[in-house]
């Protein structure tokens, strides 16, 4: 990590009004929150309606390892590099959840000289969007129990309430709770999810505007009646109030990078639970303002990027021009299965020594992720995020593997140490890839039965031999089919640590079967999400949470946030 002093010396932040003007926004189209952040009015879409879209690039990665691959750093650095070669570029990125910020991961603003700034604002409350989402969600939860308490005119089956509460903290103690202990309500089991797993978050990220937001919130199915009919937020007469709470949160946030490249920061759905991409609205505004828009999908290409294609692109009608897959030498060595990272202990020295056999074996994961993106007909550029210990022979091997697997280009990126200047080769490769003809296609048609869509993803994207369904999943699939929700896309909830459902299976696993534990409905967001294996919707804190290091110094400055 760079010191605060070096970052301050490198960064000459512009007033957000200047960043907005350079991006092509008018004064009346922004609402300023302090000096360095602002909300952007959706009215800009009306003004720029006739302007053609810029090129659309999604940044994804190999399967993550504890070492970090630098996907966000690459997203930011690529935007800066495109600006360096004379392109009007805008970055679209998610706001991080406070769960990981104070838990295992820390912040998500990028790194080195490729960061969104001010980093503290980005990683913490920003303009309050996540809080508004959590409040709107929990208002609906309160309305459910209140309706049952006051006579239950809708005949809701209390044991069939599927809607849980949310909080934006990793808190495993809240995964399963009992409510109604005050004897003023019905005693029942429920639980908490993390806010970024909320359907309200997913809806905000996928909505096309305020009217659509109101309609989607109303469609949320929260329970069934005693005779098996769905109960929605509209039935409970709360969708309007929820929309009111989100009237400002629907507007994208404008920030900047260390090199003053504009960045839209909006929404933060997890990619291992929800669809893992920033908002459609931010992308649409950026595409009208810029020559190139660089967005990022969460975790590996088997998660966020698959969902970008099959869920986000279906909802937006937008088509990507290129995909960037980020890899590192040491992460590919980890995927060979020959090394381990133990928390609190120094890295295995073998990770920093040349080992072509380990790189070759671990590159099977990269090959599979390239294959996954080629299913969608999108040109792939591999960005090798370079570390000082990487050797030329290791880099050469990864390039050879990438091109043989079908990438149109593979290049070295040094954007952590050099900012945009370290990504010029990558930027030129991306521009060239975007000039290729598009052959975009979805992985599956929506009219396939639910099980066939699940099995298509499991077999093609994960490389599974097959799928098994637990009784709860079988029941859910039958119920949702009978209710008329079979034509929705699938949002798989699985570990991000493996191509499979099992985090212990590294590299490119083979010979495994995916167990589907349950299937849940997000009717407002417009997808079904199966729970694979032990995947949970509420994370827990590690033994030494990142929040232990966060504090305020005597001058009121935040320290320990990274």
Nearest to 95 by CA among 77, 118, 117, 122: 122
Asked if residue 331 belongs to a domain, the reply is yes
How many domains are contained in the chain? 3
323 and 457: one domain? no
Answer yes or no: is 160 within a domain: yes
- Same structural domain for residues 196 and 330? no
Whether residue 39 contacts residue 252, with contact meaning beta carbons closer than 8 Å, is answered with yes
User: What pLDDT score does 9 carry?
Assistant: 43
408 shares a domain with 283:
yes
In a domain, 549, yes or no: no
Can you give the CATH number for the domain in which 275 is found? 3.40.50.300
Residue span of the structural domain in which 143 resides:
129-238
> In this structure, are 33 and 169 located in the same domain?
no
Quick one: 267 and 227 in the same domain? no
At 554 the pLDDT is 86
Q: Is there a domain that residue 557 lies in? A: no
Residues of the chain with pLDDT under 70: 1-11, 105-106, 343-344
Query: Both tokens of residue 279?
Result: 């908002």
SS3 of 243, please? helix
Q: Does residue 556 lie within any of the structural domains?
A: no
Residue 75 shares a structural domain with residue 204: no
Please say which residue of 216, 238, 260 terminates a domain: 238
Which pLDDT score is estimated for 200?
98
**Which pLDDT does position 3 carry in this prediction?**
45
In a domain, 467, yes or no: yes
Number of H helices, E strands in the chain: 20, 23
Q: Select from 343, 302, 385, 503 the least CA-distant residue to 110.
A: 385
Q: What is the pLDDT of residue 1?
A: 44
Task: State the virtual CA torsion across 332, 335, 337, 341 in degrees, nearest 10.
Answer: 80
**Spatial separation of the C-alpha atoms in residues 243 and 248, rounded to whole Å:** 10
C-alpha to C-alpha distances, 543 to 2, 309, 497, 549, nearest whole angstrom: 26, 36, 19, 13
Instruction: Based on the fold, state whether residues 136 and 148 are members of the same structural domain.
Output: yes
């Amino acid at each position: 990590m760079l010191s605060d002093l070096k970052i301050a010396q490198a960064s000459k932040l512009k007033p957000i009004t200047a960043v907005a003007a350079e991006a092509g926004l008018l004064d009346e189209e922004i609402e300023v929150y302090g000096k360095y952040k602002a909300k952007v009015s959706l009215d800009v879409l009306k003004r720029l309606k006739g302007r053609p879209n810029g090129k659309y690039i999604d940044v994804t990665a190999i399967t993550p390892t504890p070492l970090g691959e630098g996907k966000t750093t690459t997203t930011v650095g690529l935007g800066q590099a495109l600006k360096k070669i004379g392109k009007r570029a805008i970055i679209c990125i998610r706001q991080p959840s406070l769960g990981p910020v104070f838990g295992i991961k820390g912040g998500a603003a990028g790194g080195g000289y490729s960061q969104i700034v001010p980093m503290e604002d980005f990683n913490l409350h920003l303009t309050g969007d996540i809080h508004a989402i959590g409040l709107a969600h929990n208002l609906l939860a309160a309305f459910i129990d209140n309706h049952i308490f006051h006579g239950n005119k809708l005949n809701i089956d209390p044991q069939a309430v599927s809607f849980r509460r949310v909080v934006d903290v990793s808190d495993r103690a809240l995964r399963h709770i009992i409510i109604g202990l005050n004897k003023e309500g019905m005693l029942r089991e429920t639980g908490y999810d993390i806010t970024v797993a909320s359907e309200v978050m997913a809806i905000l990220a996928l909505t096309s505007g305020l009217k659509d937001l109101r309609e989607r919130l109303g469609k949320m199915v929260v329970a069934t009646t005693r005779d098996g009919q769905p109960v929605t937020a509209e039935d409970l007469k709360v969708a309007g109030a929820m929309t009111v709470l989100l009237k400002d949160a629907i507007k994208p946030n404008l920030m900047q990078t260390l090199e003053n490249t504009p960045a839209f920061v909006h929404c933060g759905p997890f990619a291992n639970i929800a669809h893992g991409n920033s908002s459609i609205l931010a992308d649409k505004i950026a595409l009208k303002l810029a020559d190139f828009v660089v967005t990022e999908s969460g975790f590996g290409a088997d998660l966020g990027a698959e969902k970008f294609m099959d869920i986000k692109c279906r909802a937006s009608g937008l088509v990507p021009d290129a995909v960037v897959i980020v890899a590192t030498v040491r992460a590919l060595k980890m995927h060979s299965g020959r090394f381990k990272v133990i928390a609190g202990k120094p890295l295995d020295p073998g990770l920093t020594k040349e080992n072509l056999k380990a790189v070759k074996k671990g590159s099977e994961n990269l090959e599979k992720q390239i294959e996954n993106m080629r299913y969608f007909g999108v040109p792939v550029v591999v960005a090798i995020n370079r570390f000082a210990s990487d050797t030329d022979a290791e880099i050469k091997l990864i390039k050879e593997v990438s091109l043989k697997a079908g990438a149109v280009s593979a290049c070295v990126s040094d954007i952590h140490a050099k900012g945009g200047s370290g990504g010029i080769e990558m930027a030129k490769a991306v521009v060239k890839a975007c000039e290729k003809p598009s052959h975009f296609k979805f992985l599956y048609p929506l009219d396939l039965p639910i099980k066939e869509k699940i099995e298509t993803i499991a077999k093609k994207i994960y490389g599974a031999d097959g799928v098994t369904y637990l009784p709860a999943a079988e029941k859910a699939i039958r119920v949702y089919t009978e209710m008329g929700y079979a034509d929705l896309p699938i949002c798989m909830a699985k570990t991000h640590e493996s191509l499979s459902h099992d985090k212990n299976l590294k590299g490119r696993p083979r010979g495994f079967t995916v167990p589907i534990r349950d299937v849940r409905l997000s009717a407002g967001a417009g997808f079904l999400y199966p729970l694979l294996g032990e995947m949970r919707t509420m994370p827990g804190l590690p033994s030494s949470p990142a929040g232990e290091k966060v504090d305020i110094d005597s001058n009121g400055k935040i320290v320990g946030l990274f």
